[in-house]
C-alpha cells in the first residue's frame, strides 16, 4: 500500500479513537450524502468522474522525480551515448524509472530521428495535460458545488419540517432533521478533501510538465550526440528559465546548444 493511503488510514483511525465510533455514526446520513455528493457528481458524466478519480489515485501513489534528478539522469545518458553509443543506451534503458524517459531512449535505440522522438514526447505531453488538467478542473468545480448542494439539502429538510408544523411529531420529524444536516457535508468535504486534492494535482502537473520539458529537450540533445557538458549546461538553463517563469519574470526563448562549441 502506498504511503498516502497509510496517512489517510492513520488520520481516520485517530479521529475514530478521539470521537468514538458512535459519535462518527451520528454524523453519517445516507440521504444527506446522496444529495450532497450525488448532486455534485451528477454535473459530470460517470466516465468523467471515473477518469478523474483514476487520475487522483495515480497522483496520490506517484513517485515524483525532481527536475534535478531528471537532469542528472539525462546527463548520464549523454555520457553513455558519447562513450558507448546506442548499445550503451540500450543496456541502461531498463534501469530508468521514468516511463517517458525510458520510452524516449527506446526510440533513440531504434534509430528514430530527432523529429520522431520529439513528436512522440510532445504527444505524450498533450495526453498527460488533458487527463490531469481535466481532473483538476473537476475537483475545483466540485469544491464550488458541494456547498451549494449542501445548502440545497438543508432547505429540503426545512421544507419537510414545515409540512409538519401543525402536528409536530419528534418521531416523524427526525428524518427531516437528518436531511437538513447536509450543510456540514457541503463545508467539510470541499475544505478537507476536494480542494486539497486539487492543489496536490496542480503540484503534480507542474512537476511533470517541467520533467517532460527536460525529457523533450534531453532526447533532442541525445539524438544530436551532444556532450554531457553541453547537455547539462543547456538543461540547467531550462530549469533556471522555468524557475523565473514561476516567479513571474518575463523570459526570452532559451537558445539551443551552440553548434560551434567544442565537443
Angle between helices 195-223 and 99-109 (to 10 degrees): 20
Are 179 and 32 in contact by the 8 Å Cβ rule? The answer is yes
- Only one residue has cell 420529524, namely 173
Buried b (16+ CB within 10 A) or exposed e, 46-65: eeebebbeebbeebbeeeeb
Q: How far apart are CA 135 and CA 129, in angstroms?
A: 10
User: Going residue by residue through the chain (263 aa), what tens digit of pLDDT does each one get?
Assistant: 445 555 665 666 666 555 555 555 555 666 677 777 777 778 888 888 888 888 898 888 877 778 888 899 999 999 998 888 888 988 998 898 888 888 888 888 887 777 888 888 888 888 888 889 999 999 999 888 888 887 777 776 666 666 666 665 555 555 555 555 666 777 778 888 888 999 999 989 888 888 888 988 998 898 888 899 999 999 999 888 877 766 543 333 334 444 334 44
- Predicted pLDDT at 80: 92
The span from the CA of 168 to the CA of 180, in Å, is 16
The predicted pLDDT at position 119 comes to: 86
Contact 218, 69 (CB under 8 A): no
Q: Where are the alpha helices (DSSP H) in 62-194?
A: 67-92, 99-109, 114-162, 170-179, 182-189
Report pLDDT for 262. Answer: 41
pTM, entire model: 0.70
196 vs 194: CA distance, rounded Å: 6
pLDDT at 40: 79
What's the CA gap between 51 and 44, in Å, rounded? Answer: 11
Amino acid at each position: 500500500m502506498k504511503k498516502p493511503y497509510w496517512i489517510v488510514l492513520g488520520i481516520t483511525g485517530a479521529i475514530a479513537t478521539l470521537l468514538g465510533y458512535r459519535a462518527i455514526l451520528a454524523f453519517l446520513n445516507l440521504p444527506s450524502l446522496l444529495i450532497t455528493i450525488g448532486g455534485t457528481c451528477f454535473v459530470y458524466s460517470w466516465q468523467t468522474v471515473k477518469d478523474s478519480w483514476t487520475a487522483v489515485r495515480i497522483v496520490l501513489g506517484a513517485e515524483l522525480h525532481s527536475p534535478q534528478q531528471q537532469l542528472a539522469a539525462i546527463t548520464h545518458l549523454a555520457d553513455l551515448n558519447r562513450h558507448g553509443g546506442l548499445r550503451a543506451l540500450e543496456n541502461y534503458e531498463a534501469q530508468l524509472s521514468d516511463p517517458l524517459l525510458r520510452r524516449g531512449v527506446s526510440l533513440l535505440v531504434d534509430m528514430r530521428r530527432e523529429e520522431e522522438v520529439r513528436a512522440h514526447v510532445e504527444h505524450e505531453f498533450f495526453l498527460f495535460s488533458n487527463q490531469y488538467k481535466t481532473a483538476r478542473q473537476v475537483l475545483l468545480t466540485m469544491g464550488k458545488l458541494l456547498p451549494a448542494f449542501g445548502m440545497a439539502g438543508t432547505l429540503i429538510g426545512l421544507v419537510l419540517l414545515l409540512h409538519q408544523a401543525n402536528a409536530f411529531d419528534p418521531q416523524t420529524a427526525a428524518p427531516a432533521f437528518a436531511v437538513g444536516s447536509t450543510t456540514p457535508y457541503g463545508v467539510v468535504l470541499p475544505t478537507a478533501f476536494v480542494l486539497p486534492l486539487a492543489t496536490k494535482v496542480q503540484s503534480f502537473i507542474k512537476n511533470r510538465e517541467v520533467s517532460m520539458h527536460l525529457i523533450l529537450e534531453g532526447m533532442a540533445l541525445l539524438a544530436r550526440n551532444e556532450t554531457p557538458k553541453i547537455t547539462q549546461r543547456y538543461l540547467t538553463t531550462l530549469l533556471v528559465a522555468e524557475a523565473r517563469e514561476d516567479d513571474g519574470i518575463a523570459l526570452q526563448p532559451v537558445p539551443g546548444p551552440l553548434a560551434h562549441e567544442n565537443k
